Amino acid sequence: MKNSDPIHSSGDFFELLKRSGYNSQSAISALPENKALEIPQGTTVLAFHYKDGIIVAGDRRATAGNAIMYERCDKVIPIDDYSLMAIAGVPATAFEMARILSHNFEYYRRSQLRNMSTEGKVRALSRLLKDNVAMAMQGVGAVSPLFAIYDIQQGKPFLYFYDMLGAEFQILTHVATGSGSPMIRGVMEHENLWGSCPLEERSQEQAMSLAIRLLQTAAQFDSATGQARPEDKLYPIIAKITKDGYQFISDDEMEDIYKASMKRN
């Protein structure tokens, strides 16, 4: 029997959540304002185009006020086979957004028998951020994400930056957000304009080495950004988006890349 429900026929997962009574803000809306400082925050993430696609990276530290809460926070989150979200802000809110996005993309694929377009995926994250404005204004749910996606039909990657109100900006070269980002934006621009070659022409090895150096630089000037600690096998999280989808760099690979990256040229 054909389903005539317009929600099912449209593949609108957000409307389905609303009809089911889901409210992501209900658990936090009653918090007093002074609780905001006790909520962990993720810090520095960055992304840039390189020869084969996009590199996405982040440090691993989560802080609450001036306290270090966690040193192994994963700030780069896979959404589907061809998209990644990097988070700066409150991890709890960002992880919930990532789960909703992942279910949204899969719900659309199954209900419409095709994948959601890149534009649709980009707008879906914007919609979640706009719905989160009230929590962001309270200081208990602010998120400033990066979104990287490879469009199979167009055969090229796309990179977007979002502000906390949901405005989206396509990034053609490089971007960083979070507390350590002001320390490395200028470095990224210098590398792109006057480095050995533009970022989009760099190999995977060169791109990953630069990502590690950038995060180490941010950590030198920003206490909320965690440094790599080889003795504890603690390294930044780095992933790539290419025509083959996303892939995270393993800790064993990171060890070798880190050692090579920290050598003076």
43 is catalytic: yes
Burial class (CB in 10 A: 0-12, 13-18, 19+), 172: exposed
Between 39 and 205, name the one with better pLDDT: 205
Q: Which tens digit of pLDDT belongs to each residue from 15-54?
A: 877 777 776 555 444 445 544 445 667 789 999 999 999 9
Q: Tell me how far apart the alpha carbons of residues 66 and 181 are, in angstroms, rounded to a whole number.
A: 18
Closest CA to 211 of 160, 241, 176: 176
Cβ atoms within 10 A of the Cβ of 199, count? 21
pLDDT (average), residues 125-134: 92
Between 152 and 35, name the one with better pLDDT: 152
Instruction: Please report the pLDDT score of residue 66 as a whole number.
Output: 83
Catalytic residue among 43, 44, 63, 118: 43
Instruction: Please report the pLDDT score of residue 10 as a whole number.
Output: 66
User: Picking from 80-84, 120-124, 128-132, 188-192, which range would have the lowest pLDDT averaged per residue?
Assistant: 128-132
Closest CA to 172 of 208, 198, 196: 198
The CATH superfamily of 40-261 is Aminohydrolase, N-terminal nucleophile (Ntn) domain (3.60.20.10)
Task: Please give the order of strands across the beta sheet that includes 245-248.
Answer: 174-177, 45-50, 53-58, 237-242, 245-248
Q: Are 199 and 51 in contact (CB under 8 A)?
A: no
Instruction: Please report the pLDDT score of residue 14 as a whole number.
Output: 76
DSSP element (H, E) containing 125 = helix 118-131
Q: What whole-number percentage of the chain has pLDDT above 70?
A: 88
Between 24 and 146, name the one with better pLDDT: 146
Instruction: Please report the pLDDT score of residue 28 as a whole number.
Output: 46
Q: Tell me how far apart the alpha carbons of residues 102 and 128 are, in angstroms, rounded to a whole number.
A: 12
pLDDT (average), residues 163-192: 95
Which one of 35-39, 69-73, 171-175, 219-223 scores highest in mean pLDDT? Answer: 171-175
Instruction: Please report the pLDDT score of residue 9 as a whole number.
Output: 56
Which band of pLDDT confidence, cut at 50, 70 and 90, is reported for residue 263? confident
Q: Would the pLDDT of 239 be above 90?
A: yes
What pTM, to 2 d.p., does this model score?
0.89
Instruction: Please report the pLDDT score of residue 40 as a whole number.
Output: 67
Instruction: Please report the pLDDT score of residue 65 as a whole number.
Output: 79
Instruction: Please report the pLDDT score of residue 134 as a whole number.
Output: 83
Q: Would the pLDDT of 163 be above 50?
A: yes
